[in-house]
Amino acid sequence: MKRKTIISGFSKLSREEKMEKMGELTGSAEQIKAKLDSFRLQNTEQQNLLDEISENTLANFYLPFGVAPNFLINDHLYHIPMVIEESSVIAAASRSAKFWARHGGFNAQVVSVVKSGQVHFIWKGETNKLHNLLPELKFDLFRASQELTINMRKRGGGIQNIELIDLSDKMENYYQLHVTFDTADSMGANFINSCLEKIAQQTKHFFKHYEGLSDVERECEVIMSILSNYTPDCLVECSVECSLDELDNIHPGISGKEFASRFQKASKIAELDIYRATTHNKGIFNGIDAVALATGNDFRAIEANGHAYASKTGKYKSLSKASISDKRFHYQVKMPLSLGTVGGLTSLHPLAKFGLELLGKPSAKELMMITAAAGLANNFGALRSLITTGIQKGHMKMHLTNLLNALKADYEEKKQALEYFAHKTVSYNEVETFINSLRTKLQ
C-alpha cells in the first residue's frame, strides 16, 4: 500500500530528526541511523562541506574513483580520473588508451567556446519597430551588465553578443534576446544566469521609460531568463588514426584491413539507425560522464547537450564517425562539451579538486580535449568488442566480482570462481550454480 503522509518542514529538521522521519516510514529508525552513519566521513570538516553542497543530506552515496592511465593526447601523457560504477568502462578506456598511445595517440582541438542563454519575453508592438530599437537596447543592456561582467572580462571572457530572435509566428508576440558568452575556465552557469536576469530587468526598464512609445509598447512581459545547456558553438574534436597494417594484431585472426572495414560499417550503422545510435552514443558518454563526475562538472547538462547536438539535423545520429582512405583508418568524435575547471564543485569537492590536480590543473579548453578523448576511447573499445568477441565476454568478466559479492562469496570462493571462469562464459546463473556447488561440497 502506498504511503500518503505529507512531511511538512522537512528541510528545517536536524539530521537526526530527518532520520527519525525516515524511520517512521520504514519502521526501523535505529537501523537506518546505523547504516547512514556508516557512510559518513570521519573528517567533520569535509563531511560538513558535503552536507552543505546539497539539500536534506543524510549520508554520502559512494561511487568508485578510478584512473584510466596512458592517454597520449596532443603528445602529452595523461592519467585520467573517472568516477563510475561500471568497471568495464575504465577497463575499456585504459585498453584503448594503451593501444593508441603506441599508434600516435589522440589528436584533439577546441573549435569554439561560445555558450548562450535567452531572455524570453512578450512584446505587443510592431516587429519592425522592435528591430529598429535593438541597437539602442543592446547598448543599454551591455552598459547595465558591466558591473556583473568586470571580473569575467579580466579573465578574457564576458558577453559576446545580444541578438533579437523573432518567434512571433510560433507564439503570438513572443521574442527572445539570445545572448552569447565566453566564460573562460568556468562552466559559467551562475555567471550566465546572473547576467540574463540583469538583462531581463533592464529590458523591461528600457521599454517602460523609452520616449515615444505607446502604452502598449511600454509593456514588456518577461516570461523567463535562463542559460541554455545546448551549446553547439562550444565544440571539441578528437580523433585517432593509423595505417591499416597497424591494426593487424588488434584481434587474433582478423587482418587490419578487415577490422577497419567491419569497424567502419558498425560506425555507419549508428549514423543510420536511431536504436543503434542511442547505444553507440551512450558508449561515448560512459567515458565523458565519468570524467565529468571526477572533475566536479555537470554530467546531466553535458548529456542533454550532446544528445541535442546528435539530433541537430532533425534525425538522431552517432556523434563519432569512422573512415578509411589511402590505406589509413581514421576515427573521430565532434561534439559540444561545456566544462569548467574553476568555481562550483571543481574547487569545493576534495576529490574533484584532486581529479583536476591529477590532470595537471588543466584549463577548461584542455579539459574539453581530455574528456573528448575519454569518450572516444570508450566508444572505440565498445565497437572493437562488438565486431570481434561480442560485448558480453569482456563486460561479464569485469562484472564477475560484482556477481560474487552479490552472492556473498568469501575470499576462497572468489579465488576459485576467478580461476574457473577465466575462459568460460559468465552469467549470474552459472556463477550462482558454481558457488552453490562449492558450498555443497563443504557440507
> Which string of DSSP letters, residue by residue, matches 213-260?
--HHHH-EEEEEEEE-S--TTSEEEEEEEEEGGGGTTSSTT--HHHHH
Phi, psi of 330 (to 5 degrees): -135, 135
Active-site residue flag, 51: no
Residue 12's identity, in one-letter code, is K
Sheet holding 115-123, edge to edge: 158-166, 174-182, 115-123, 220-227
Residues 272 and 366 placed together within one structural domain of the fold: yes
Residue among 259, 287, 177 at smallest CA distance from 226: 177
In the set 21, 138, 178, 282, the catalytic residue is: 282
Q: Has residue 6 been placed in a domain?
A: no
Residue 124's identity, in one-letter code, is K
Q: Would you state the pLDDT for residue 433?
A: 87
Residues 120 and 102 placed together within one structural domain of the fold: no
Q: Would you state the pLDDT for residue 395?
A: 56
Tell me the C-alpha to C-alpha distance, in Å, between residue 423 and each of 14, 160, 372: 53, 58, 34
Higher pLDDT, 418 or 274: 274
Mean per-residue pLDDT, 365-381: 98
Average pLDDT, the chain: 93
49-53, 377-381, 396-400: range with lowest mean pLDDT: 396-400
Q: Would you state the pLDDT for residue 3?
A: 59
Residues 287 and 211 placed together within one structural domain of the fold: no
pLDDT tens track for 102-121: 999 999 999 999 999 999 99
In the set 86, 233, 248, 430, the catalytic residue is: 86
Higher pLDDT, 442 or 88: 88
**Structural domain ending residue among the three candidates 195, 211, 227:** 227
Q: Has residue 3 been placed in a domain?
A: no
Which helix (H) or strand (E) is 175 found in, with range?
strand 174-182
Q: Which residues contact 28 (CB under 8 A, 6 or more apart)?
A: none
Mean per-residue pLDDT, 199-213: 96
Mean per-residue pLDDT, 42-64: 92
Domain hosting 218: range is: 115-227
CA distance 329 to 314: 29
CA distance 220 to 273: 45
Residues 303 and 200 placed together within one structural domain of the fold: no
**Structural domain ending residue among the three candidates 170, 204, 227:** 227
Tell me the C-alpha to C-alpha distance, in Å, between residue 391 and each of 16, 160, 319, 383: 46, 46, 20, 8
CA distance 210 to 218: 8
Residue among 70, 93, 75, 41 at smallest CA distance from 290: 93
Residues 202 and 130 placed together within one structural domain of the fold: yes
Strand-pairing partners, residue 118, are: 178, 226
Q: Has residue 389 been placed in a domain?
A: no
Q: Which residues contact 364 (CB under 8 A, 6 or more apart)?
A: 113, 183, 184, 185, 186, 187, 339, 340, 341
Q: Has residue 262 been placed in a domain?
A: yes
Q: Has residue 60 been placed in a domain?
A: no
Read off the pLDDT band of 397 (50, 70, 90): low
Mean per-residue pLDDT, 43-57: 91
Is the separation of the CB atoms in 362 and 108 below 8 Å? no
Mean per-residue pLDDT, 260-284: 97
Which helix (H) or strand (E) is 351 found in, with range?
helix 350-358
* Residue that the C-alpha cell 562541506 belongs to: 49
Residue 5 pLDDT greater than 90, yes or no: no
Residues 186 and 49 placed together within one structural domain of the fold: no
Is the separation of the CB atoms in 280 and 391 below 8 Å? no
In the set 298, 317, 366, 399, the catalytic residue is: 298
Q: Has residue 59 been placed in a domain?
A: no
* Other C-beta atoms lying within 10 Å of the C-beta of residue 51: 17
Higher pLDDT, 350 or 100: 100
Active-site residue flag, 86: yes
pLDDT tens track for 109-165: 999 999 999 999 999 999 999 999 999 999 999 999 999 999 999 999 999 999 999
- Whichever domain contains 274, its CATH number is 3.90.770.10
* Residue that the C-alpha cell 550566465 belongs to: 192
**Structural domain ending residue among the three candidates 166, 192, 227:** 227
In the set 120, 395, 397, 399, the catalytic residue is: 395
Residues 171 and 187 placed together within one structural domain of the fold: yes
CA distance 109 to 414: 45
Count of domains in the chain? 4
Higher pLDDT, 393 or 304: 304
Residues 162 and 204 placed together within one structural domain of the fold: yes
- Whichever domain contains 122, its CATH number is 3.30.70.420
Residues 275 and 241 placed together within one structural domain of the fold: yes
Q: Has residue 420 been placed in a domain?
A: yes
Q: Would you state the pLDDT for residue 380?
A: 98
282-286, 311-315, 437-441: range with lowest mean pLDDT: 437-441
Residue 35 pLDDT greater than 60, yes or no: yes
Residues 272 and 360 placed together within one structural domain of the fold: yes
Residues 36 and 70 placed together within one structural domain of the fold: no
Q: Has residue 5 been placed in a domain?
A: no
Residues 334 and 352 placed together within one structural domain of the fold: yes
Q: Would you state the pLDDT for residue 275?
A: 97
CA distance 433 to 430: 5
Question: For residue 100, how many C-alpha atoms fall within 13 Å in the half-sphere facing its CB?
Answer: 35
Is the separation of the CB atoms in 257 and 154 below 8 Å? no
Read off the pLDDT band of 1 (50, 70, 90): very low
